[in-house]
Structure 1
Amino acid sequence: MEQKKIFLKTTDIEYLTLKTHKHTYHHQLIYMIKGTSHVKVDTTEFFLPEGFIGLIPKGHIHNIYSRNEKVKMFLIYFPSDIHFEQYISLNSNDFIIENIRYISKQNHIVDPATDVIFYKFIDSFLGLIINSKQQYSLPVKGLIEPKNERLALVLNYLKSNFKEDITLLKVADEFGFTIRNLTRLFKKENISFVNYLNYLRIIHAIELFSEHRDNIADVAFEVGYNSASNFSRTFKKYTGYTPRDFINENATNSILK
């Protein structure tokens, strides 16, 4: 990509898997129109739900994959004097949606020499959202790869089995730990067993919601909770929304309307 130009792209992808790469001169904005994705930047993996924005700073190694069958994304690759060194996640609002809708309908390549006004418009808009300070915790905050290899095996096990009736005792037995030693291992990496398990379950619930699976009780049981009420309490704790409010709120966050 030419260094000084802005590139706009809307993609419809089945079984999204983008290998590790980096953009030397361009920051990248990802707006999830349909579906969800996992964005790994350097050693930290982030979850990007439908209707959310991810901003990847230039020069950082990253890869992207999705567990949804189909995803649709709007992408902006932009050079800028605005510097940010860490991945940023933002939820969209009416202001962001209207501006992205407008930008997405323009030419795919924006040249600062011939599209001066539009180029400045995009740059100003991106500067506003980058500096908005509207940061989010779970479910979109990143999970850092553990340095301890034994804990990495445990976390991989949880990723494969989080739908099951799983407890700290069962995991400890599976890997030959005592509960006390496994708990210490989690604490050394600043990870909580309960938080990690709930994180995996909540983001999978959001993946299912993005596929229009809106029966909350069915989703609750599918992701590993023994009751819809327990799932709803946990979902609100980690996202700030009840499952129904989350479904309704994000149904409006589309640039396609």
Structure 2
Amino acid sequence: MSKPQLVDEVGKRGFSWHAEYWKHNNEFHHHKKAQLVYVESGYQYLHVESCQFLLPQNHVAYIPSNVPHKTTHASEHVSLRTLYFDVEDLPPFYEELYLFAIPSVLREMIMYTEKWSMNMDNDESEQTFLRAILLELPSFVKNAIPLITPVPRTKVLLDATAYIHKHYQSTITIDELAQLCFMSIRTLERQFKKETGISIAKYIQMVRIIKSIELLSEGQYTINEIALQVGYNSAQSYSNVFTKLMGQRPTDFAQQSLII
């Protein structure tokens, strides 16, 4: 039985599916239940109609009911925690797609649902707990960090983004990416902007900042150490980029993460 068929045949309002080595469905599919996907480790691409998005580690995607989608992985190991919900009695908020960095409370709640993973029997406590996650989703989305990163559609540019993910800790030049893609710099920049809506430089920035958010949330490194780990030559240059993208300094973000 394929996963889409299984999702629609489960006779429960909600259920969880946790998989350390996720088997990706390379075909577009949809199901009546809405889907909440948490990437615990690795990263993958989420494809929705004509758009593709990067869904990195410690990020969540909420996919509405009956929306065609598929996922493809770029890292060798992807661990996913997935929840499914009936949402037909809920307001219009639940009809939209959301991608965001996971708040610590939501992460703990999703991890707790592993005890019910792939449980096909009805359990009142399970349904109550899953319903609480679903009903709190608007506040999680509102208070979370939105860092939506579109990705290109063509294989040659997907190879370029894979190269960025592999080498983000080092200096990456447009020239070396152009050589990798067998394009001129001008053609590469124009094509990348056309397919993603952002420049290559901005994409590299966002990948580095996403990774730094993970490190900041761990509370184990100084700002200077994090800056070096994600490819910046100084804490000041890293802090400037972080503040521009996130609207707050990395030190302020780190303090909030520790408080939460």
Which residue pairs with 1:19 in the alignment? 24
8 Å CA contact 2:37–2:83 kept in 1: the answer is: yes
Structure 2 CA distance, aligned partners of 1:180 and 1:232? Answer: 29
Which residue pairs with 1:40 in the alignment? 46
Deviation at 1:143, TM superposition (A): 1.4
Structure 2 CA distance, aligned partners of 1:120 and 1:58? Answer: 20
Residue of 80, 83, 99 corresponding to 1:89: 99
In 2 relative to 1, CA 183–165 (structure 1 residues): closer, same or farther, beyond 3 Å?
Answer: same
Which residue pairs with 1:160 in the alignment? 166
In 2 relative to 1, CA 187–135 (structure 1 residues): closer, same or farther, beyond 3 Å?
Answer: farther
Which residue pairs with 2:244 in the alignment? 237
- Secondary structure in 1 matching 2:186: helix
Deviation at 1:162, TM superposition (A): 2.5
Higher relative contact order (CA 8 A, sep 6+): 1
Percent pairwise identity: 22
Amino acid in the other structure paired with 2:171: D
Deviation at 1:229, TM superposition (A): 0.9
Which residue pairs with 1:187 in the alignment? 193
Structure 1 unpaired stretches of 5+: none
Structure 2 CA distance, aligned partners of 1:220 and 1:166? Answer: 15
Residue of 112, 126, 130 corresponding to 2:134: 126
8 Å CA contact 1:214–1:247 kept in 2: the answer is: no
Structure 1 CA distance, aligned partners of 2:72 and 2:102? Answer: 20
Structure 2 CA distance, aligned partners of 1:54 and 1:188? Answer: 24
1:202 and 2:209 are equivalent in the alignment: yes
8 Å CA contact 1:56–1:86 kept in 2: the answer is: yes
Pairwise CA RMSD: 4.4
Residue by residue, what CA displacement relative to the aligned partner does 1:59-117 show, whole Å, maximum 9, x if unpaired? 443448697999795x53211214655531356779x75x959x969987795xx95x9
- Secondary structure in 2 matching 1:20: coil
In 2 relative to 1, CA 237–159 (structure 1 residues): closer, same or farther, beyond 3 Å?
Answer: same
Q: TM-score, normalising length from structure 1?
A: 0.66
Residue by residue, what CA displacement relative to the aligned partner does 1:162-217 show, whole Å, maximum 9, x if unpaired? 22222223433554544333332233322301111111211222333455542221
In 2 relative to 1, CA 246–191 (structure 1 residues): closer, same or farther, beyond 3 Å?
Answer: same
Deviation at 1:9, TM superposition (A): 4.1
Structure 1 CA distance, aligned partners of 2:159 and 2:153? Answer: 10
Count residues in correspondence: 241
1:220 and 2:208 are equivalent in the alignment: no
Greater share of helix: 2
Deviation at 1:244, TM superposition (A): 2.6
Amino acid in the other structure paired with 2:234: S
In 2 relative to 1, CA 241–182 (structure 1 residues): closer, same or farther, beyond 3 Å?
Answer: same
Structure 1 CA distance, aligned partners of 2:22 and 2:157? Answer: 26
Structure 2 unpaired stretches of 5+: 1-6
